[in-house]
A and B are shown apart, each in its own frame.
Chain A
Amino acid sequence: MKENSPDESPETKKSDSSTKPPSQLSRRTFLGNIATVGIATTAAPLLQVGELDAQQVHQPATDVAEAPATSAGTVPVTLKINGQTKNLQIEPRVTLLDALRENLALFGTKKGCDHGQCGACTVHVNGRRVNSCLTFAIMHQGDEITTVEGLAINGQLHPVQAAFLEHDAFQCGYCTSGQIMSAVALLKEPCGKDDDAIRECMSGNICRCGAYTNIVAAVRSVRSGA
């Protein structure tokens, strides 16, 4: 999946090969570069705050979190993510999703629509699933945030993750972390027993590939303990 990561655009791959060997230039370095010359206009505002350069991205998250403020509008924000305390210096307008991806290098949480319509950005806040694109990081100081990176314990996959593999519950994989976070939350929510109930309870996660049949099978198998 890494080689064909769905959020890796064809342009990215082409530029990678035409400038540096792929091993030396990551997708994220490339995105950072185009942001600085103003091509990726949507990415640019995100990269102005808690600024990450390519080297920081590849360092452990704790170092990234301690990066100095680079914008006058930034404020200190402390988040607890997957059990770890992270100190950030970011603008209030940084969404929880962007803080995770752009400031903490937790790329498991995906940006799909960025408007609460697709569910790719689903994370847990205090054990409840939410769309991380529709909330600001600064609103979550003191909250317990769990991302897909926090599900496995000591390398042991969460049963929902294992079930998604077992049932081949994805094609391109872009929606998968959001699907998994929703499915994990669903296990503790009031949700009917049959497949229709699973579909309804998973309706906040859109899969463009249409892997729904296998997603429902994966969720069903975990709920039944199979």
Chain B
Amino acid sequence: MHEFQYTKAGDVGQAVTSVSPNGAKFVAGGTTLIDLMKLEVERPKLLVDINGLPLDRIEPDGGGLKIGALVRNSDLAHDEQVQRLYPVLSQALLSGASPQLRNMATTGGNLLQRTRCYYFRDVNYACNKRNPGSGCSAMEGYNRIHAVLGTSSHCIATHPSDMAVAMMALGATIFVTGPKGDRSIPITKFYLLPGTTPDRENVLAAGEIITHVTLPPPAQNAKSHYLKRRDRASYEFALASAAVIVELDGRKIRKAQVAMGGVGTIPWRSPEAEHELTGAEASERNFRRAAEAALRGAKAHKDNGFKIELAKRTLVRALQTVTQA
């Protein structure tokens, strides 16, 4: 690991100022950053420790919820309000990583989690995300875990977060502050598709820090569910996952919010599936139709073709579960 300097920020303003030099990075839970520093994928010159900032509270917010950027994944998952109002979020969090990692990982950090693409994590390989213009080793390499949605000829790496998939379905808003002041970004506008610039993963500007995330008030009779499919029973990244929030009127779907994980280059909201479901009867045939719509644009590579059918079945199963009487 390369040498770096360390400073601990006392308040948000100081954190933003401290991170301004080139090569400076925030560190919170450290579960992604320190891992990647050991691999020399990340080589910060200065680490600004933000763990002392007062951003670790979960508070009611006009019928919704305001979640501080430093709220640990385990605290968020076990929060009574989250479990009652947004079970999809609690389930997504608890399906990710391990208890130890969830005690460390934060809400802000999880939104910015980096891909598990083997070639991104190994500096001996070409990777457009890590080293723009160097090429993509995954394209012709072993790409079983890679994305089928939102890919480009420059990058097929998946976004690994479960939490972000649930927040994508819930329609969260991300609040940031930076050298130019405060702004809020709907999560659906936060992530950037790889396109020709896979190194740019989100719309955060240099020096900006996530302060909190808000969740809109849940609909009265909405039900939600997160289903994750992976290579082992626990402590593994998703091959495919689905976050679904459904409002039923009898057996008719009044409204559906659908996002998918493990298959997209970003946490994948599916307006196509939502369109198929809205106003439709809650039936397996309609769920299948929604799943077909969600994966219509999917593009398989050598080893990950199985994900397309797996993702469809995962979505159908999640919808069956959430619409059960």
CB of A75 within 8 A of CB of B99, answer: no
Contacts of B51 in A (CB 8 A): 139
Interface of A (DSSP majority class):
mixed
A165 within 8 Å of B (CB atoms): no
CB of A139 within 8 A of CB of B30, answer: yes
Closest to A93 in B: B1
CB of B6 within 8 A of CB of A92, answer: yes
Closest to B31 in A: A134
Measured between C-beta atoms, what is the minimum distance from B32 to chain A in Å?
9
A138 to B99: give the CA distance in the assembly, Å: 23
CB of B98 within 8 A of CB of A204, answer: yes
Q: B79-125: which have CB < 8 Å to A?
A: 97-101, 103-104
B251 within 8 Å of A (CB atoms): no
CB of B104 within 8 A of CB of A114, answer: no
Extra pairs beyond A139-B49, A204-B235 (18, CB < 8 Å): A73-B3, A92-B4, A92-B5, A116-B31, A119-B100, A122-B100, A131-B101, A134-B30, A134-B34, A134-B35, A135-B34, A136-B6, A138-B49, A189-B74, A190-B78, A203-B234, A203-B235, A204-B98
A223 to B77: give the CA distance in the assembly, Å: 22
A139 to B74: give the CA distance in the assembly, Å: 20
Measured between C-beta atoms, what is the minimum distance from A35 to chain B in Å?
16
Q: Indicate with 1 or 0, residue by residue over B1-34, a CB within 8 angstroms of chain A CB atoms.
A: 1111110100000000000000000010011001
Contacts of A185 in B (CB 8 A): 99
A70 to B53: give the CA distance in the assembly, Å: 32
CB of B35 within 8 A of CB of A116, answer: yes
B57 within 8 Å of A (CB atoms): no
Closest to B35 in A: A115
Closest to A127 in B: B103
Q: B236-281: which have CB < 8 Å to A?
A: none
B47 within 8 Å of A (CB atoms): yes
B183 within 8 Å of A (CB atoms): no
What are the nearest 4 A-B pairs in CB distance?
A204-B98, A203-B234, A92-B6, A203-B235
CB of A114 within 8 A of CB of B38, answer: yes
CB of A75 within 8 A of CB of B6, answer: yes
Contacts of A189 in B (CB 8 A): 74, 99
Q: B185-240: which have CB < 8 Å to A?
A: 233-235
Q: A183-226: which have CB < 8 Å to B?
A: 185-186, 189-190, 199-201, 203-205
